[in-house]
Amino acid sequence: MGMTENAVNTAVTSTSSPAIPAETSAVSPATRAANRPLGTPLGKHPTRVLFLGAGELGKEVAIELMRLGAWVCAADSYAGAPAQQVAHEYRALDMANAAELQALFDEIKPDIIVPEVEAIATDVLAGTAAAGAQVVPSAEIAAICMDRERLRVLAHEELGLPTTPYRFAGSLEELRAGASEVGYPCVVKPVMSSSGHGQSVVRSADAIDAAWTEAQEGRRAADEGDVSRVIVEALAPLERELTVLTVSSSAGIVTCAPIGQRQESGDYRESWQPATEPDGEAERARDIARTAVEGLVAKAQAAGETGWGVFGVELFVLTDGSILFNEVSPRPHDTGMVTMASQRLSEFALHARAILGLPITPEHVSLTIPAGSVAASHAIVVAGDGEVEFTDVAAALAEPGTDLRIFAKPEVHGHRRMAVALAVGESEADARAKAGLVADALTITVE
């Protein structure tokens, strides 16, 4: 454990937020959260924000919170993560270990907890929320969105959103039966994983046993030894995927312009905003996203939590033009990095403001690029083993309307997303090409 080099006051560690007076205990969580003090991060009564996960997305949110005067601590499983480099303090621990996570909460005494990864001891998170901390967007939402089974039941069976046909299975026998019901080809995923981990496309019955094995061994937390339930769903005739960033704040729920994307092996590689859609598609996509987030926020508020923050709602657009709900990320989304070039406020600024109780209105999510133009992002994935250095940055950014964010991750071992190129162009093709040229013009050394 330690402090980042840019931290300036070692006394911050022992500073805790004032206890909530008994006479204010009846005040709603939303009212209390919206009136937290800002502007004295090293003073007597800072608003203390703890990040669980300190990657590149968390880094941008941490910067936005610090701009508004909050105190930030960034925790991750290793030291030197991107958000740790800019926070007031950092910690390194196993956040899936309940004892370690509880010890962290007891030490930091956070007002606000921002989960940025899935591998978190959710029971401890829920207990801390019950004790008065604001979990973003809520402990209940974090638990639902980590579990594909709970999320799909909520979305399709409770909210009536359109989805692919699906079944759940807790054994190989149940998986075989479920796959037979939804039909081949189908997709098999662990219910408690993400980013393509443990996922398989199954095209015939003779491959279903291998899909079960992959779901058990390839998922996150596979070393925990328990059997993971899986979801098997029909492989839809997919034309493309959309992300609709949806913001819940003290002013209600608003949606951003849909974002188009390209993925490889379940991971984002490019995104662009606004996505090109036929007439009416953008509104249908936004309606589905809004309904999904409304349902999640209702769960949070029923549990006495705010439900504030940015949600990345993932949608499928099929070849017949229909739009299906897929999943929700209860935090800023990888594909939303394009908003650093496209919107009045990026998804990171929106997240920071929402969780601090500030109102987010349609004006805050408006596009600021010229009418008819498109913004794009291009993930820069580096292969190798060692530290990563970027040179020829000036040449890469010589083209007008381009930008670059280097994440400053300490090392790569295998493949790792290390930066993102941004561009604004006259069309989707132009913007994507310009962002790709920024990436191609960089000289990247691994040693």
User: Which pLDDT tens digit goes with each residue over 329-349?
Assistant: 999 999 999 999 999 999 999
Q: Which top CATH class is 236-444?
A: alpha beta
Q: Is 241 annotated as a binding residue?
A: yes
Residue 375 β-bridge partners: 273, 424
Look at residue 295 and tell me whether its pLDDT is greater than 60: yes
Instruction: Give, in order, the Cα–Cα distances in Å from 35 to each of 297, 357, 417.
Output: 20, 8, 37
Q: How far apart are the first and last CA of the chain?
A: 26
The dihedral built from the CA positions of residue 319, 323, 326 and 327, taken in this order, carries a sign that is: positive
- Please report the pLDDT score of residue 9 as a whole number: 33
The reply to whether domains 27-134 and 236-444 share a CATH topology is no
- One of 196, 218, 304, 436 is an active-site residue; which one? 196
Q: Which of 235, 192, 440 is nearest to 324 (CA)?
A: 235
pLDDT of residue 3: 40
What are the structural domain ranges in the chain? 27-134, 164-232, 236-444
User: Among residues 125, 150, 158, which one has the least CA distance to residue 139?
Assistant: 125
Active-site residue 284, yes or no? no
**What was the pLDDT predicted at 242?**
97
Q: Is 320 a catalytic residue?
A: no
The label of the residue with tokens 């937390």 reads 221
Residue 260 belongs to what H/E stretch? strand 259-264
Tell me whether residue 416 is annotated as binding: yes
In CATH, which superfamily holds the domain spanning 164-232? ATP-grasp fold, A domain (3.30.1490.20)
Q: What is the CATH number of domain 27-134?
A: 3.40.50.20
**Could you give the 3-state DSSP secondary structure of residue 390?**
strand
| Residue 44 assigned to a binding site | no
Query: Is 405 one of the annotated active-site residues of the chain?
Result: no
Q: Which two tokens stand for residue 320?
A: 């017949």
316 band by pLDDT with thresholds 50, 70 and 90: very high
Q: Is 363 annotated as a binding residue?
A: no
Residue range 388-398, pLDDT digits in tens: 999 999 999 99
Q: Give the confidence band of 65 by pLDDT, cuts at 50, 70, 90.
A: very high
Which residue out of 76, 270, 334, 428 is catalytically annotated?
A: 334
**Residue from 91, 284, 353, 417 carrying the catalytic annotation:** 417
Q: What percent of the chain has pLDDT over 90?
A: 83
Residue 148's identity, in one-letter code, is: R
Assess contact for 435 and 270: CB atoms under 8 A: yes
Task: Single out the catalytic residue among 314, 329, 425, 432.
Answer: 314
